[in-house]
Amino acid sequence: MATFLSFHWCCLFLLSSIATHPLIEASNGGFNVQLIRRNSPKSPLYNPITDRFHSFYQVPNKSSLSPPSSPFAKVTSNNGDYLMKLSFGTPPVDIYGLADTGSDLVWAQCTPCYGCYKQKNPKFDPQNSKTYSPIPCHSQQCDLVPGASCSSENLCGYSYAYADSSVTNGVLAKETITFSSSDTGNPVAIGDIIFGCGHKDSGTFNENDMGLFGLGGGPLSLVSQIGSLYGGRRFSQCLVPFHTDPSISGTMSFGEGSEVSGDGVVRTPLVYEEGQTPYMVTLEGVSVGDTYVPFDNSSEMVSKGNIMIDSGTPATYIPQDFYDRLAKEVKEQVSMSPIQDDPDLGSQLCYRSNNNLEGPLLTAHFEGADVPLMPIQTFIPPKQGVFCFAMAASTDGYQIFGNFAQSNLLIGFDLDRKTVSFKPTDCTNQ
């Protein structure tokens, strides 16, 4: 992606059946995974020199927790994205992939790789795994993939594209995926996970990306594939704000242990149809302090499912007219004057400050759920001494509630009950 305006959202594949999972080493109560950032010392991608700051404008493109003895996967930040660590194969090989609620396919770059983007860490070699099993052509799973093709070896070829024109091409296969454990240290291994073994991948991925882990609502997503094993198709996330100590990790919980409960929980309906990938909800407006700014300034009812909750997109994108009215109110309630003489910042609303702004408090008014947003969720530093409003006008018709705003919120996605839950949470203490 050339600018921070891009995002991952795939809507190509709708599958109606998922493979079984014979290898399971976990309780059915669910489990949680750790979300760590790429610039965290816990990450193999950590560079103490270059990972001091994160640029909002250079982006290419989780109180109820799981029960004891629950497994987790680490997740790092990667210039505005969150990377989840999963281990592929037998013996397991660590893969750091983008955690993306806006797409379905789980995939990793594999060897041999023809025309693939440059990857810093070694690619996954299926020949070294005892549990790797490619899916053949004309099988039930392959036939359900629109546009599937047959390779010369009679294997099921796939091509999976994203809205930013990135694409992964390769072979669909089954593999054992292992999560770490946050409590006991015992691994959680799940067999026969359908994933894409990418042999030709291109687009806006960078050298730290080893693949992408789709967490959307479609049947190919990681959530859908493991849902029957852990009490339903639901999960929760608690994302650590990007401009906090990079050694602190967020969490992601699956199954029964992912239910968001307790004081302060609000819920909004998930505008979801079976097999649909994105998590669409209804945003009615945003308050800046005590001033309410409606999503639609007309007298008409706001459209249901007008915005997508996407962990793979950093900023929040809203219609131009809504953004103009919202930014105008923010300007009126911030005592400082906006920056107007820095070409690096473009037209974004930014302020010179060594610390994040003290206000104003914003409240996102979803249908039936008012979600407070502190400045740490609505302003981001693109460079030292500058903080910018982490919302922008959509240029392509897609409205997205991005991961900056999702930080320090325990957010639960329940595909079976068709709800999204929010609970203000200090995700740095999870």
Mean pLDDT, residues 70-78 taken together: 56
Domain-embedded: residue 301: yes
Same domain, 223 and 335: no
**Closest residue by Cα to residue 47 from 179, 204, 207, 180:** 207
Alpha-carbon distances of 127 from 90, 150, 413, rounded to whole Å = 10, 20, 36
Same domain, 342 and 425: yes
**Closest residue by Cα to residue 323 from 341, 349, 361, 359:** 349
d(CA 274, CA 409): 26
pLDDT at 88: 96
**Closest residue by Cα to residue 243 from 117, 110, 55, 5:** 55
Same domain, 245 and 270: no
Same domain, 66 and 210: yes
Residue pair 317/400 in contact (Cβ under 8 Å)? The answer is: yes
Mean pLDDT, residues 47-72 taken together: 34
**195 band by pLDDT with thresholds 50, 70 and 90:** very high
Residue 201 annotated to the active site: no
Same domain, 42 and 152: yes
Reported pTM: 0.82
Same domain, 190 and 122: yes
Residue 324 annotated to the active site: no
Domain-embedded: residue 8: no
Same domain, 311 and 388: yes
d(CA 131, CA 138): 21
Same domain, 313 and 218: no
**What residue spans of 70-146 are helical by DSSP H?**
140-143
Number of separate domains in the chain: 2
Domain-embedded: residue 101: yes
Does residue 166 register a pLDDT over 70?
Answer: yes
Q: Give the domain range for residue 177.
A: 31-258
Least confident range of 61-65, 164-168, 271-275: 61-65
- Catalytic option among 51, 100, 104, 209: 100
pLDDT at 385: 93
pLDDT at 188: 83
Same domain, 174 and 41: yes
d(CA 416, CA 231): 10
pLDDT at 204: 87
Domain-embedded: residue 6: no
Does residue 10 register a pLDDT over 60?
Answer: no
d(CA 407, CA 424): 9
Q: How many helices (H) and strands (E) does the chain have?
A: 5, 29
Last residue in a domain, options 229, 258, 287: 258
Domain-embedded: residue 331: yes
Mean pLDDT, residues 29-55 taken together: 47
Least confident range of 98-112, 218-232, 263-277: 218-232
Q: For residues 164 and 106, which has the higher predicted lDDT (pLDDT)?
A: 106
Mean pLDDT, residues 283-302 taken together: 91
Same domain, 321 and 188: no
Last residue in a domain, options 192, 224, 258: 258
Same domain, 94 and 141: yes
Residue pair 103/224 in contact (Cβ under 8 Å)? The answer is: no
Q: Quick: pLDDT tens for 313-368.
A: 899 999 999 999 999 999 999 999 999 989 989 889 999 999 998 889 999 999 99
Domain-embedded: residue 117: yes
Last residue in a domain, options 239, 258, 277: 258
pLDDT at 31: 54
Tell me the average pLDDT of the chain. 81
Does residue 52 register a pLDDT over 60?
Answer: no
**255 band by pLDDT with thresholds 50, 70 and 90:** confident
Same domain, 92 and 236: yes
Does residue 37 register a pLDDT over 70?
Answer: no
Domain-embedded: residue 14: no
Domain-embedded: residue 2: no
Does residue 262 register a pLDDT over 60?
Answer: yes
CATH number for position 246: 2.40.70.10
Q: Quick: pLDDT tens for 280-289.
A: 999 999 999 9
Least confident range of 35-39, 111-115, 269-273: 35-39
- Catalytic option among 51, 81, 104, 310: 310
d(CA 405, CA 220): 27
Question: pLDDT exceeding 90 applies to what percent of the chain?
Answer: 51
pLDDT at 293: 97
